[in-house]
Structure 1
């Protein structure tokens, strides 16, 4: 096994261990971090002209944001959950448009929105 494959395997095992030990709050943080990471990677792929990779990474970001939408509980979150649902749906649409039009500005827009939501979520960690 080469060093690169060993590192990837270690990272996968480490990530799986983190998920198993994480609180529900931390799991949402991890989803948001993963979404931001995939968007940044997609931006890099777009800048390098790697069209297929860009599409794959944006697809992963859309799936992550879809997971965030599914985690919303309108019975507990009420209006906040409804507003977040609308925002997540908007982000997914903008990412799809960014993919279709190879648009860095739309990627940056969604990254900024998700970063703001994450900042708020991080702020309630101790509450």
Structure 2
């Protein structure tokens, strides 16, 4: 798990528990990191460790990534509607978010869209505002 510089792994685990750090191995088959430029890093059969240090979760991925172009990337530089969130011309509020707020609160689409705009797209805050 960690290279403790020759330290006994049991002793290291005990010290981490004393410091309030919980460590958990995650049985992952694949990890995909989508980058802003549209490319992806794909880790097949990685070793993944989750560390929780007083509420702050950190994930460590060990493995060799394969770089590949995202399936949603378009060569001309255009972005397809699914990747853009298909906001329907509503100033950046995705229709899926509006539908979710409507389903959870029973509010009209206009009220849901307005609540999302007021909360800068924060779903939980928009739902709370309408409930």
Specify if TM > 0.5: no
Which structure has the bigger radius of gyration? 2
| Bigger strand fraction | 2
TM-score between both structures, scaled by the size of structure 2: 0.22
Structure with greater contact order relative to length (CA < 8 Å, sep ≥ 6): 1
